[in-house]
Structure 1
Amino acid sequence: MKATIYHNPMCGTSRKTLEILRDSGCDVWIREYLKQPPTHDELVQLYDKAGIRPRQGLRAKEPIAAELGLTRPDVTDDEIIDAMVKHPILIERPLVETGKGVRLCRPQDKVREIL
């Protein structure tokens, strides 16, 4: 099985998720999203496949999220995604995509749902 992980090597949950993928025998493509951010359309598709809203994929604990006003209830999905594209640190990680779907793998064991 092929898998793509939107990975941050500095994140423990992301590293553990990558380990699960490798241990499962997946052919893993690692996309370090801080170096190679997804596009607006890619994020829309990932969140749609995961069945979540962009707000659920927002790393709201990052100080820049509040600075940009992204934690306000009236912020649109497009505004959140546009901010994520410009500031990929705002993307909650790790996102994993396989032929069985997409999951935001927090906790890391959620990846097993798509293996």
Structure 2
Amino acid sequence: MSLALFHNPACSKSREALALLQAKDLTPEVIDYLQTPPSLEQLRELQRRLRLPARELLRKGEEAYAQLGLEQPTFSEDDLLAAIAAHPILLQRPIVVNGERALIARPPSLLLEFL
């Protein structure tokens, strides 16, 4: 995976990130992660590239976050990643992977420094 975008086409920030990449004449592999959810192993690899704790990959405003009680600090890294694998809507977006590095592009303008 050299250049990839974990994308939700319904998200304005995700669409903005894709447009920014395309404006730079970059063609990322677009991964609609709601249609093709990442596996637990793929999430572990994504977390490694992001260099962030699993909690930072969570969208805290999603209904599933509250329903699963994910605000509790007792969840392990693996528990949180498993929750994302089971409920991909919980994954932060957009995420851009460029080789061994990755970035949660919120706001999408962060991509300018990242690339």
* TM-score, normalised by the number of residues in structure 1: 0.93
> Does the 8 A contact of 2:14 with 2:94 survive in 1?
yes
Q: Which runs of 4+ in 1 moved over 2 A?
A: none
RMSD: 1.2
The corresponding residue for 2:48 is 48
Q: Specify the SS of the correspondent of 1:27.
A: coil
| Alignment: residue pair count | 114
Which blocks of at least 5 consecutive residues in structure 1 are unaligned? none
Letter in 2 for 1:15: R
> Does the 8 A contact of 2:40 with 2:85 survive in 1?
yes
> Does the 8 A contact of 2:7 with 2:30 survive in 1?
yes
* Counterpart Cα distance in 2 of 1:88 and 1:21: 23
Structure 1 range deviating more: 8-17 or 70-79: 70-79
Q: Specify the SS of the correspondent of 1:111.
A: helix
Question: Shift in Å at residue 25 of structure 1?
Answer: 1.2
> Does the 8 A contact of 2:7 with 2:95 survive in 1?
yes
Deviations 1:41-89 (A, max 9, x none): 1111111111111100101111111111111111111111111111100
> Does the 8 A contact of 1:84 with 1:90 survive in 2?
yes
Which blocks of at least 5 consecutive residues in structure 2 are unaligned? none
Deviations 1:8-58 (A, max 9, x none): 000000000001111111121111000001111111111111111110010
Structure 1 range deviating more: 47-56 or 9-18: 47-56
Identity of aligned residues (%): 32
1:20-39 correspondence to structure 2 within 5 Å: 20-39=20-39
Question: Shift in Å at residue 100 of structure 1?
Answer: 6.0
The corresponding residue for 1:112 is 112
The corresponding residue for 1:71 is 71
The corresponding residue for 1:11 is 11
* TM-score, normalised by the number of residues in structure 2: 0.93
Letter in 1 for 2:23: D
